[in-house]
Amino acid sequence: MSINAPESQFGFSFDQKRCTGCRTCVIACKDYHDLGPGIMFRTVHEYAAGAWRLNEEGAWEQDVTAFYVSLSCSHCANPVCLRICTAGAVLKDARGFVTIDHEACTGCQLCAVACPYHAPRFDEASGRVEKCDGCSARIAQGRAPVCVEACPQHALGFGLYDDLSAGPRVVERIAAMPDPVITQPNYAIEPSEAVRGVGLDEELMNPREV
Amino acid sequence: MTRHAGAPGDWPATTPARQTCSVNCGSRCVLSLQVADGRIQWAEGDGAVEEGDQMRPCLRGRALRYWLDSPERLNAPLRRVGPRGLGRFEPISWDEALDEVAERIRGVVARWGNEAVLVPYATARWTASGSPFERLMNCYGGHLGIYGDYSCAQLQAAHEALYGDDGYYSGSTLDEVANADLLVVFGANPSLTRMGGASGAWRLEQMREARAALGLPLKVVSVDPCHTDLMSRAVDEWLPVRPGTDAAFVAGVAHVLITEGLVDEAFVHACCIGYDAETMPAGVPESEGYRAYVMGDGPDGVEKTPAWAARITGCPSARIVSFARELAGARRAFVTQGWGPQRTEHGEQSARAVCLLAMLTGNLGLPGTNSGTRERLRRPAIPDESVGDNPVGVSIPAFTWSRAVEQGEALTAESAGVRGAERLRAPVKLIINHGGNALTNQHADINRTHRILADEGLCEFILGVDVAMTDSARYADILLPDLAQSEQAALVASGNSDGVCAVIDCESWDHPAFERRGAWDVARELARRLGVEEAFCAEGSTACEVDERRWEQGELAGEAGAHEELGARGVLRRADACSQVAFADFRADPARNPLPTPSGLIEIYSTRVAALARERAQAGISAPLSPIPAYLPAREGAEAACERGMLQLVSYHGRQSANSSFANVREIEEAVPRRLSINPIDAQRYGVASEDQVVLENERGALVCRVRVTPRVMPGVVSLPQGAWHDADMAGDKLDWGGCANTLTSDIPTAWSCGNAHNSCLVRLRLLRDDERARRAKLQASRDDAAPGKGEGR
């Protein structure tokens, strides 16, 4: 299936050094969209790395580092969820939002499995897949996505991805995140200095939560 | 389909109500509740002004509706049936309940006197502050008072000894960090304790970015058993130390400062007593000063070298040396501490020692510096509701109330910090617990406290007034359902940690009331029954009238147009104009601006503590007290952990709850579950992996929790977010499936300030056994879920 380029492309941005992993974005999204038990569109990934060694004087040497990534749908330029959906239930609109057509969704969850960011989430109550729609209707009313408005640390942003990605330090992948080549995500991350490299020894601390 | 997924025209029509959370987190954030059909549909945050000034709610504020709608809400007055503390109740009418409460108050006061009535420490009714039940008792002859708190009793005493005040309001304001090039933080994580959008975490980040933009990056050094979210820049440094060993760390740093000639002696000689020969108080030998203590010339004869400190703290001596040099070399260092390090057995020593770093390096009284205490708290823009004067002039340390129940007259001024009398004249016989969970959950040694409270021969009557069936509420004889503050109209001031001066005009909204009633009206009903209604209503006969009085007494009342602006906008906000450098006047001229200490100077050697130690010795009470901020090993400290092969437990403020408020919200638990952090080295030693269910236990009790293996906590230490709701079969095995840290903590008050030492707690760890799982499953199946007062809210 070929994907027509949208007229404009929405994206989120993330200033990682500001993020304290508080999860306000997670709860604000859940509250606003009234997501049921077990479903979160936005999740916060906690990464940590570092080794401990007892030295000759009986004290601990360590080089620990830690950081967070707040992650939701990146409304990708090449969304694998859309490509894989046999029901044609995943749509990409003129403003670049990737959304689900609930009438068409069969609940097969192929998209949920295929997305390297695990953005589509299966809702047991409806038997369908749900995902972040970028609060597109809210944006149309002149407001920000609820997660962006909620962040007490002002770490999340949104806008036209061309603008967001123009920053000198912006990357689309840090630590153990998937290779952006797969889906071309529209997520502009300004990495924290606590990130020491890509895919080194950082370990995801909270796999159950994300 | 999720809400808000379709066209805006399809969205539910809602009516906004301006509100705030009303819990003890230090912030008051602005919420716009979107109400329809008698429920909050969702919450919007503070979108009224430019981004930088917003009081954005944290995850808990955003979860307000889940909390207010929780199945634990109380809906009707209840009377206990069965033994006290097992949580079995029957519904009764308001008239029956109020008549019985009034009768019990009258009876206890007649038999035992007003001193037998206690209104204990409780902070979940923080918003409009003063408790109407305290006011009620003050109108009816008074009650046993409490002083200090569970937050920082040790720090208050330590600060009093050093500087002559309790430290809440004399520290530098956080904005002074902008003038520092080094921020030294002992045991504080603002991302957990100052989460609100106008509070410390965001303000610190803004300052760091502003300094970085000027090419003057701020380095943060964190001395803490846990790796905190402050460590966000490459330049930052984490110095892990074992819980309770901060004073040893400081002594090691001081050794470097002294031996390398880095002490700011001009400052110390001009402003301090008790450091060296030049500064000792009259009659006290040099060997009892702090310098002699560090250099091995004191009574213990031990030189506090960095290697000595490394063995105790677990922090390598090379790091101690380099930190000392960096601190001395900083142009301006802002030294501060959270309230975790002082919440230990010798927390008064830790708290004073941290302050010492500011003094020894002269980082005090100048822009960009602090006194070593926490940054200054802000007084509310409008005063608390007045509770009137307490005719009973006797008070006890807040943490010692359970001993006042158990031991009564045995509590004396010398042994238990009783103030206003040599000893208590009566034990506590009646407790009015309004909006507090510190009878068990937030107190300590829950199993022991359960035995004290369950004994009806001790405390004769407990009135509970709360919004939810907390563990403490389960001990009530009569339990009255309160309205949440977030359901009521009130004027609310911005929090004591917020960097803004604001008043929020909170609105009532169409909420399900069941039989709930506001506490003010309930206390007034009791006042009427006790014949003191007129006195009770002296400041206003309704809660709204009282609010008018509070506004008139507030700092913005005199500003032209302010009241109109509040009415028009609902939130009145002004920049916080109260910037402050701790003890700047004192430093500029110590002779003209003396401190309220006996000497007028900073007392590194405290003559007051020396006197206290002598009094205790004369009374035959053995108590480890040191006039200087020396390191004292604790009964449940690092050395004992090593000797006994146990782990040190740190119970910290997690994101999940403000103390125990919000801890029952499943949606928060789902987003950020409570986990016991354990270092990979210990995880290997104990054979546990992330998500394993384990039992933490000691001689006081046992709890169940899940593990997170993480390098972010040092070996030998496990950390657990406190505030989880205790959940145990108190008629059976008492195993706490809720994972409440205070199942394990000790209720022994500290020797000096009689404070709570929750972070001096040794534990053993093992995997949960199958028989324990099976017993729990059986109990769950047999539990009567239809207990009155539970589950009716949904």
pTM score above 0.90: yes
The 10 Å Cβ neighbour count of residue B691 is 14
CB contact under 8 A, A38 and B195: no
CA distance to A114, B235, B330, per residue, from B172 (Å) = 53, 24, 18
A-facing residues of B in 271-300 (CB < 8 A) are none
Per-residue pLDDT at B788: 43
Q: Is B8 on the interface with A (CB under 8 A)?
A: yes
- Percent of chain B residues past pLDDT 70, beyond the cut: 97
Give the dihedral of Cα atoms B567, B569, B575, B576; nearest 10 deg.
Answer: 50
Give the orientation angle of helix B153-163 with respect to helix B607-618, to 10 degrees: 120
Instruction: Provide mean pLDDT across the span B412-426.
Output: 95
Ordered by where they begin, the domains of chain B are 14-68 (2.20.25), 78-150+394-482+517-534 (3.40.50.740), 163-373+586-618 (3.40.228.10), 638-782 (2.40.40.20)
Confidence category of residue B789, pLDDT binned at 50, 70, 90: very low
User: Residue B790 above 50 pLDDT?
Assistant: no
Per-residue pLDDT at A157: 96
Written as one string, the DSSP assignment of B392-427 is ---EEEGGGHHHHHHHGGG-BHHHH--BSSSB-SS-
User: Residue B11 above 90 pLDDT?
Assistant: no
Per-residue pLDDT at B786: 44
Q: A112: helix, coil or strand?
A: helix
CA distance to B98, B583, B607, B638, per residue, from B358 (Å) = 54, 12, 21, 25
Q: What is the pLDDT of residues B357-381, one digit of tens each?
A: 999 999 999 999 999 999 999 988 9
Q: How far apart are CA B401 and CA B380, in angstroms?
A: 28
User: Residue B432 above 50 pLDDT?
Assistant: yes
Q: List CB contacts (< 8 A) between A50 and chain B.
A: 711
Q: How far apart are CA B93 and CA A118, in angstroms?
A: 52
User: Residue A160 above 50 pLDDT?
Assistant: yes
Nearest one of B631, B491, B532, B473 to B86, comparing CA atoms: B473
User: Residue A3 above 90 pLDDT?
Assistant: no
Specify whether the CB–CB gap between B297 and B258 falls below 8 A.
no
Specify whether the CB–CB gap between A188 and A12 falls below 8 A.
yes
Q: In chain B, which residue's Cα lies nearest the Cα of A27?
A: B59
Q: List CB contacts (< 8 A) between B712 and chain A.
A: 48, 64, 66, 205
Confidence category of residue B620, pLDDT binned at 50, 70, 90: confident
Mutate to test the interface with B, among A29, A64, A98, A202 (most CBs of B within 10 A): A64
Nearest CA to CA, how far is B199 from chain A (Å)?
9
CB contact under 8 A, A31 and B317: no
Helix or strand run (H / E) with residue A62: strand A60-62
Q: Give the pair of three-digit tokens for residue A34.
A: 């009234």
Instruction: Provide mean pLDDT across the span B13-35.
Output: 93
Confidence category of residue B785, pLDDT binned at 50, 70, 90: low
Q: List CB contacts (< 8 A) between A135 and chain B.
A: 4
Give the orientation angle of helix B519-529 with respect to helix B94-112, to 10 degrees: 60
Confidence category of residue B460, pLDDT binned at 50, 70, 90: very high
Per-residue pLDDT at B544: 82
Nearest CA to CA, how far is A22 from chain B (Å)?
7
Q: Give the amino acid at B92.
A: I
Per-residue pLDDT at B51: 66
Q: Is B57 on the interface with A (CB under 8 A)?
A: yes
Q: How far apart are CA B525 and CA B573, in angstroms?
A: 36
∠ Cα B554 B560 B561 (to 5°): 95
Confidence category of residue B225, pLDDT binned at 50, 70, 90: very high
User: Residue B5 above 90 pLDDT?
Assistant: no
Q: What is the pLDDT of residues B677-721, one digit of tens each?
A: 999 999 999 999 999 999 999 999 999 999 999 999 999 999 999
Q: What is the pLDDT of residues B497-540, one digit of tens each?
A: 999 999 999 999 999 889 999 999 999 999 999 999 999 999 88
Q: What is the pLDDT of residues A115-138, one digit of tens each?
A: 999 999 999 989 999 999 999 999
Instruction: Provide mean pLDDT across the span B252-279.
Output: 98
Per-residue pLDDT at B791: 37
A-facing residues of B in 65-94 (CB < 8 A) are 65-66
Nearest CA to CA, how far is B503 from chain A (Å)?
19
Written as one string, the DSSP assignment of A135-201 is THHHHHTT---HHHHH-TT--EEEEEHHHHTTSTT-BS--TTPPPTTTT---EEEE--TT--SSSSS
User: Residue B91 above 80 pLDDT?
Assistant: yes
User: Residue B126 above 70 pLDDT?
Assistant: no
Q: List CB contacts (< 8 A) between B691 and chain A.
A: 208
Helix or strand run (H / E) with residue B434: strand B430-434
Q: What is the pLDDT of residues B54-63, one digit of tens each?
A: 999 999 999 9
In sequence order, the 6+-apart residues with CB closer than 8 A to the CB of A159 are A10, A11, A13
CB contact under 8 A, B56 and A150: yes
User: Residue B30 above 60 pLDDT?
Assistant: yes
Q: Give the amino acid at B552.
A: E
The 10 Å CB-count burial string (b at 16+, else e) for B603-633 is bbbbbebbebbeebeeeeeeebbbbbbbbbe
The residue behind tokens 């889940």 is: B66
Helix or strand run (H / E) with residue B569: helix B562-569
Task: Tell me the pLDDT of chain B averaged across its residues.
Answer: 94
ipTM of the complex: 0.95
Nearest one of A210, A209, A208, A206 to A47, comparing CA atoms: A206
Q: Which of B21-30, B46-55, B83-92 has the lowest mean pLDDT?
A: B46-55
User: Residue B472 above 80 pLDDT?
Assistant: yes
The residue behind tokens 């007229």 is: A7
CB contact under 8 A, B714 and A60: yes
Q: How far apart are CA B180 and CA B171, in angstroms?
A: 15
Q: In chain A, which residue's Cα lies nearest the Cα of B31?
A: A150
Per-residue pLDDT at B12: 79
In the beta sheet, which residues pair with residue B720? B651
CA B309 to chain centre: 29
Torsion angles phi and psi, residue B760, rounded to 5: -105, 90
Q: How far apart are CA A149 and CA A157, in angstroms?
A: 8
Nearest CA to CA, how far is A59 from chain B (Å)?
4
Q: What is the pLDDT of residues A7-60, one digit of tens each?
A: 999 999 999 999 999 999 999 999 999 998 889 999 999 999 999 999 999 999
Domain layout of chain A by residue ranges: 10-205
Per-residue pLDDT at B794: 29
Per-residue pLDDT at B108: 98
Specify whether the CB–CB gap between B78 and A45 falls below 8 A.
no
Specify whether the CB–CB gap between B566 and B505 falls below 8 A.
yes
Specify whether the CB–CB gap between B278 and B270 falls below 8 A.
no
First to last CA, chain B: 22
Per-residue pLDDT at A197: 64
HEC sequence for B188-248 = CCHHHHCCCCCCHHHHHHHHHHHHHHCCCCCEEEEECCECCCCCCCCCCEEECCCCCCHHH
User: Residue A175 above 80 pLDDT?
Assistant: no
Nearest one of B84, B160, B127 to B461, comparing CA atoms: B84
Q: Give the pair of three-digit tokens for residue B325.
A: 């040099």
Question: E-assigned strands of B467-532?
Answer: 478-481, 490-493, 500-506
Per-residue pLDDT at B640: 98
User: Residue B625 above 80 pLDDT?
Assistant: yes
In sequence order, the 6+-apart residues with CB closer than 8 A to the CB of A36 are A123, A124, A125
CA distance to B290, B541, B714, per residue, from B268 (Å) = 12, 55, 34
Q: How far apart are CA B347 and CA B340, in angstroms?
A: 9
Residue scoring higher pLDDT (B730 or B1): B730
DSSP state of B41: E
Residue scoring higher pLDDT (B543 or A22): A22
Specify whether the CB–CB gap between B252 and B304 falls below 8 A.
yes
Fold topology of A10-205? Alpha-Beta Plaits (3.30.70)
Give the dihedral of Cα atoms A32, A34, A39, A45; nearest 10 deg.
Answer: 10
